[in-house]
Amino acid sequence: MAAAFTAQMSRRRGRWRLYVVLLNTCVAWPERDLGGGAVVLTVQARSRALNALGYALTDGARWEWTEDSESPDDPSSAVLLIASVTVREATW
């Protein structure tokens, strides 16, 4: 069975960014700038971006959304949206 990783997509300062979290390694996390805009990318567009990084969604994986804030101690701080999903290295 292939190792599972977490991919995250976040929007900060108007730009979406997708990256795969690689813990306990010195390797740079694979990442991709997905461009600006307020519209959330479709699941298909996110899957294509993951494929371009060499990863694919695991069977039954669903994107989960959470929010954070730019400054956690400031309730008027801008909201940061973060989505995460379980992925595996792609095998084509």
Return the domain boundaries, the chain.
4-89
The pair of structure tokens assigned to 37 is 């805009």
Q: How is the chain split among helix, strand and coil, in percent rounded to 5? A: 10, 45, 45
**Over 80: is that where the pLDDT of 92 sits?**
no
Region 33-58: mean pLDDT is: 92
Q: End-to-end CA distance of the chain, in Å?
A: 15
User: Reduced to 3 states, what is the DSSP secondary structure of residue 16?
Assistant: strand
Q: Could you report the per-residue pLDDT of 25-42, keeping only the tens digit for each?
A: 888 999 999 988 878 889
Q: What is the pTM of this model?
A: 0.85
Contact 66, 52 (CB under 8 A): no
Q: How far apart are CA 81 and CA 55, in angstroms?
A: 22
Is a pLDDT exceeding 80 seen at residue 76? Answer: yes
More confident residue, 5 or 80: 5
